[in-house]
Amino acid sequence: MTPNKNGYYGKFGGAYIPEMLYPNVKYLKENYLKIIQSDSFQKEFKSLLKDYVGRPSPLYFAERLSKKYDTNIYLKREDLNHTGAHKINNTIGQILLAQELGKKRIIAETGAGQHGVATATVCALMGLECIVYMGEVDIERQAPNVSRMKMLGAEVRPAKSGSRTLKDATNEAIRDWIAHPVDTHYIIGSVVGPHPYPDMVALFQSVISEEMKWQLKEHVGRETPDSIIACVGGGSNAAGAFYHYLKDDKVRLIAVEAAGLGINTGESAATSVLGSEGVIHGSRTLLMQTDDGQIIEPYSISAGLDYPGIGPLHAHLIKTGRAEVLSATDDEALQAGYLLSKIEGIIPALESAHALAALEMMRFAKDEIVVVNLSGRGDKDLATYIKHQNRFE
Ligand SMILES: *Cc1c(COP(=O)(O)O)cnc(C)c1O
C-alpha cells in the first residue's frame, strides 16, 4: 500500500515540518523511489541483507507452540538478524540511500537505544560520522545500549530538555538537521515521521513478507497465511510483515499494542485505543494527547513499544478495519516470553512477547496457518525477565 503523492494513507500521514526543513524533505521525497528501485541499489541492498544481516531469516514451524494452541504457528525469525532485531533492515537501506544522496554525516534519535545501535552499526560499516540523540533519562535507563553505540564509534548526545526522553531527543535531532541541511541524513527508525519516511521504512522492512511468501510456499504449498500477528510500537516490523498481504483481504492482520499495566490505568502505550488524531513527529496520525494537545507519556515494560504515536499506515489500516488491534499487558507479555523460552528454546524480545501474548486471546482453526513476527531476541531484556521470574516460572 503506497501513500498518495503528498504522503497520505487516507487521512493519515503528510509532512508537517518546520519550513527550514522543506528543501531536505522535498529532495528526499523526489529521489527516494528512483534510488531505491534502481538495479544497482537493489543489488547492494540485497547483498548486505544476505551477507551482513544474515537474511533470509528463517520461517520456523513452532511445533510445541502449535500443539498448545491447537493450530499451525510459524515464527518469522527476525531475532536471528545481526544486532538481534528487524531494525537493521531499515538502517541498511537508509545508509545506502544516504550514500547515494552524497551525505557524509548521519543523525538519529533513539528511546530504548535499539535504533541507535542499529544506526551506529551501519555507520561503522560505511565509515560515516554518527550522532545519536537520546534523552538524558533514557541514557541512564539504557546504559548497555549506550555503551554499544559508543563502542561502534557513535557520539551519543543527551537531550536535556522537557521530560528528557524520546520526544525531546527527536526535537534535538530535528534541530540538528535544520542546522546541517546539506551534508546530513536523518535516519528515522520506524514507519513514522514526515512523508516519505513511513513509506521508505515500510519498503525496506517489506523484505520480511517478501521472504514469508516463498518460505510459506515451501512449508505449506501456498504463499498466504491465514493470520499474521506483529507487535506495534511505531509499526515498522508489523508494516514489513503485513506489506505484501495488505491487498489480500483473506489474510487477517493483527497488530498488538502494549497495554502496560492495563489500558485504563494511565500507565499504557495502547495508542490506537487511547489516542486521538493529531500531529506527532511530522505526520498526522493517532497519538496519546491531552485535550489541549500535550503528548501523554506512554508506559510499557518493553522500551521499544513505549511510544505515544503509531505510524500513519497503521492508523489507516486500523481505522478502516483492514487490521485488527489487540493489546497485551506487561504481565501477559512476560508470561508469553516465559512460555516461548520453555517450550521452544527461544527467548523473545519483550516487544515480540506482546505479539506472542495475542495467541492466548485468539481462537484458531485447527488447519489455520498463523505467522507471528518474532521481531527481536530477548538478551537485552534478561534483567527484566529475571526480575519477574518468581511470578512466571
Ligand atoms: C523497536 C522494536 C520494536 C518496535 O518498533 P516497530 O517500529 O513497531 O517495529 C519491536 N520489536 C523490537 C525487537 C524492537 O527492537
pLDDT, tens digit (0-9, with 9 covering 90-100), for 60-109? 999 999 999 999 999 999 999 999 999 999 999 999 999 999 999 999 99
Is 382 among the domain residues?
A: yes
Question: 181, 201, 221 — which closes off a domain?
Answer: 201
Q: Are strands 283-287 and 276-280 parallel, antiparallel or unpaired?
A: antiparallel
Q: Are residues 168 and 274 in the same domain?
A: no
Q: Which three cell numbers stand for residue 28?
A: 528526499
Supply 45's cell numbers.
541492498
Domain edge (last residue) among 201, 228, 258: 201
Phi, psi for residue 388 in degrees, rounded to 5: -105, 10
Residue 141: the pLDDT is 84
Residue range of the domain that includes 247:
54-85+206-392
Which residue type sits at 31? Answer: N
DSSP strands (E only) in the chain:
8-9, 12-13, 59-61, 72-77, 105-110, 129-135, 155-159, 184-186, 227-231, 252-260, 276-280, 283-287, 323-329, 369-374
> 145 in ligand 1 pocket by Cβ < 6 Å?
no
The whole-angstrom separation of Cα 52 and Cα 378 is 21
Measured in angstroms, how far is the CA atom of residue 299 from the centroid of ligand 1?
A: 15
315-341 pLDDT, tens per residue?
A: 999 999 999 999 999 999 999 999 999
pLDDT at position 165 is: 86
Domain closes at, from 167, 186, 201: 201
302 Cβ inside 6 Å of ligand 1: no
Q: What is the CATH number of the domain that holds 183?
A: 3.40.50.1100
Residues 244 and 376 in one domain: yes
The preferred substitution site among 121, 204, 236, 242 for testing ligand 1, maximizing ligand atoms within 8 Å of CB, is 236
81 and 149 fall within a common domain: no
* pLDDT number for residue 341: 98
pTM of the model: 0.97
pLDDT profile of the chain (393 residues), mean per 10: 95 96 94 97 98 98 98 98 98 98 96 95 98 94 94 97 89 95 96 98 98 98 98 98 98 98 96 95 96 92 92 98 98 98 98 98 98 97 94 84
Rg value, the chain, Cα: 19
Cα distances from 291 to residues 59, 163, 272, 312, in angstroms, run 44, 19, 16, 21
Residue 132 grid coordinates: 545519536
Q: What angle do CA 82, 349, 230 make, to 5 degrees?
A: 95
Q: Is the CB of 190 under 6 A from ligand 1?
A: yes
The one catalytic residue in 78, 109, 211, 368 is 109
Q: Is 275 helix (H, G, I), strand (E, B) or coil?
A: coil
Domain assignment present for residue 164? The answer is yes
